[in-house]
Structure 1
Amino acid sequence: MYKIAASLQLFLIALQYTTSDVAADPTAVNYVTTSCRTTRYPSLCVRCLSRYATSIQGNDQKLAKAAISVSLNNANSTAGYISKLATSSGLKPSVYQAVKDCVNNMNNCVTSLYQSAQELQKMAQSRGQNFEWHMSNAETWVSSALTNQNTCARGFSDGSIDGPVKDAVIRRMNYVAQLTSNALALVNRYALRHKARIHVP
């Protein structure tokens, strides 16, 4: 069974309490909707992030962190699900190997997303080259997470692997990959908007 570190567990629990219990104001929701147009899956982006609109309040850094948090939460759940599959009896050797490899990929994915969230947190107190350093790290970690997700999915591309296990894994991996793709787009957007602001004469 996949287990997360205590610090990561606290991070995910904290995320649950950032959701606004009251209706977000239209301006805050509009900011999220407009920002999501820069992602590859805008409808999914709006659906997942509009609930955080009140706490985001038009802040690029908070938007990027919320996107990473949503991706992290889902990646962690998927890692646990796939770990359970690895203990299932009756799996064909090829399916078992693909599942086992995917467990490693998803463990790495969760770590990468957590690291990216940590970098974004550090950026809130950083300036100049230090900010750029943390931003580059955050982008690298999210890209790494996406690579691990895609590697997991490719492990099931062998024609000899078929059936409900493959279908279940691919379905979950596609969803998490879409969330992570959106998170990367919003992190990149944050970087570009920050650079544009500091170069305004």
Structure 2
Amino acid sequence: MEGSLIKITSAKAFLLVIISFNIHINSSVAMDYGAEKASTEFIKTSCSKTIWPSLCFTSLSSHTGAIQTSPRLLAQTALSVALDQVVSTSAAMQRLSKAPGIKPGEVGPMNDCLEVLTDSIDELKNSMGEMSQLNGSPNYALLISDIQTWVSAALTDEDTCMDGFAGKAGNTKNVVRGRILNVVHLTSNALALINNYNSLHG
């Protein structure tokens, strides 16, 4: 009888441990879900202040873990997304410039475009480097000014790429325009989020 009682008590204790463990796990999941939901709402609200809010949200909504609800991390992630897209676009246009169907009149504008995209990549990389130093820096004003200048310059370079194809017709122009517009919009959104972070910081 005593042995049976010990077995029952042990079984109950084990069951309580299992229940407690499950409650802890479910609570953690709920907390993680709550944090992700808060981050998603934060990104959506912040993106509503950009010129292309839908693109802003779709490009950043998968980065809730990195962004959380930090305006600085949001701006930094937006910069990273824009940089990745410029690098990808530059590589795609490099391949396009060597495609057999490209017309002689498109070679010059394509090479010019690749050159300014290289500049844009460098400028966005510089901005990323400065963004990583912003938090708590005594040189905040200088750093944020440099970042804004570099991202603005990157945006100008991307616009310049399109200028070379003005007045030209054909599939190459359409492909270039589609890719570059996406890059321009992402960079513009990143700049808007940087400016918003700066306004909150002040």
What stretches of structure 2 of length at least 5 have no aligned partner? 1-31
Query: How many angstroms apart in 2 are the aligned matches of 1:172 and 1:92?
Result: 19
Higher Cα Rg: structure 1 or 2? 2
Q: Which amino acid aligns with 1:46?
A: F
Deviation at 1:125, TM superposition (A): 4.2
Larger CA deviation: 70-79 vs 84-93: 84-93
Deviation at 1:55, TM superposition (A): 2.1
CA deviations over 1:111-162 (Å, ceiling 9, x no partner): 11111111101112413xx1010000111111011001000011100x2x21
Query: How many angstroms apart in 2 are the aligned matches of 1:57 and 1:67?
Result: 13
User: How many residues are treated as equivalent by the alignment?
Assistant: 170
Deviation at 1:31, TM superposition (A): 0.6
Deviation at 1:25, TM superposition (A): 2.0
Match of residue 151, structure 2, among 142, 157, 160: 142
Normalising to structure 2: TM-score of the pair?
A: 0.80
Q: What SS does the corresponding residue of 1:185 show, helix, strand or coil?
A: helix
Query: How many angstroms apart in 2 are the aligned matches of 1:77 and 1:109?
Result: 12
User: Retained in 1: the 8 A contact 2:36–2:68?
Assistant: no
Deviation at 1:54, TM superposition (A): 2.4
Q: Provide the identity percentage.
A: 36
Cα RMSD (Å): 1.4
What stretches of structure 1 of length at least 5 have no aligned partner? 1-21, 196-201
Q: Please name the residue that 2:63 is paired with.
A: 52
Query: How many angstroms apart in 2 are the aligned matches of 1:27 and 1:122?
Result: 26
Structure with greater proportional helix content:
2
Q: Please name the residue that 1:184 is paired with.
A: 191
The structure-2 alpha-carbon separation of the partners of 1:54 and 1:90, relative to structure 1 and needing over 3 Å to count, comes to closer
Deviation at 1:56, TM superposition (A): 1.2
Listed as ranges, the matches of 1:166-181 within 5 Å are 166-181=173-188
Query: How many angstroms apart in 2 are the aligned matches of 1:49 and 1:85?
Result: 28
Q: Please name the residue that 2:44 is paired with.
A: 33
